[in-house]
Structure 1
């Protein structure tokens, strides 16, 4: 982090605490050798992994199973010029264990667009980074418009 840039680096525990406060994030993955980003509902699992629920036949489930992906969630206050962003990177895998799938049906994320056959995708958090904008435009005496 550069000195006086208005951002504060977040540690892993702060990142995880912030992730549980929002219901939607974005998965960044590769689609036809190009970067792709999709918004998804998610929930943190008991081991800290990001869990996404999607259609079993979706492009997303097929494309990310066994791939390293990035997951990003944030919250921004445009009026106060403040907010935070957390990025988790790791291996994504479709949950195939029947007991684990049944548990996630009870405790996992709910789909906003239910499908006849759904799967859960687990993203292991191998690297988690985050930053928070502190002070916003008021940091250097410049105040946001009223």
Structure 2
């Protein structure tokens, strides 16, 4: 095993931390079903309360697949040199948003489609299931350190 592997650990994140990290990302990935097969696309997005909004155009695969279907949405940040980072996944039902008043409200949140088109709309993903993890340095412990006992609260053994 690589020394780096010995020095890293995975930590499950709570929902509040997951939502905070979600809000720091600029690009996410939406996973949906297309033609009975899994599909994943990178997208721009914004979260407003318990819903994630993805701008798209009416003829897109994401729009076609997101009419009540359960989808997944993922964001991450990774340092490839240290092999550390975090990821957050949200799962929930989706809806296609085409109502002009709601599209106008969402346009006001400052997010635009990755590929501009005339007839844009949004896909909303309800935040139902939230999971995340952080991979980083293993916390320092006194257990097993020379001259220290984990039972002795750091006193010499």
> TM-score normalised by the shorter chain: which range applies?
0.7 to 0.9
2:35 corresponds to which residue? Answer: 32
Q: 2:104 aligns with which of 102, 105, 130?
A: 102
Query: Which structure has the bigger radius of gyration?
Result: 2
1:56 corresponds to which residue? Answer: 58
1:73 corresponds to which residue? Answer: 75
Q: 1:129 aligns with which of 128, 131, 136?
A: 131
1:119 corresponds to which residue? Answer: 121
Q: Secondary structure at the match of 1:134?
A: strand
C-alpha root-mean-square deviation of aligned residues, in Å?
Answer: 2.0
CA offset digits 1:72-102 (Å, max 9, x no partner): 1100011222100000000010124433221
Match status 1:14 vs 2:17 = yes
Q: Secondary structure at the match of 1:69?
A: strand
TM-score (norm 1): 0.84
CA distance in 2, matches of 1:110, 1:96: 15
Gap regions ≥5 residues in structure 2: 1-6, 141-157
Query: Would you say the 8 A contact 2:89–2:131 is kept in 1?
Result: yes
Gap regions ≥5 residues in structure 1: 140-146
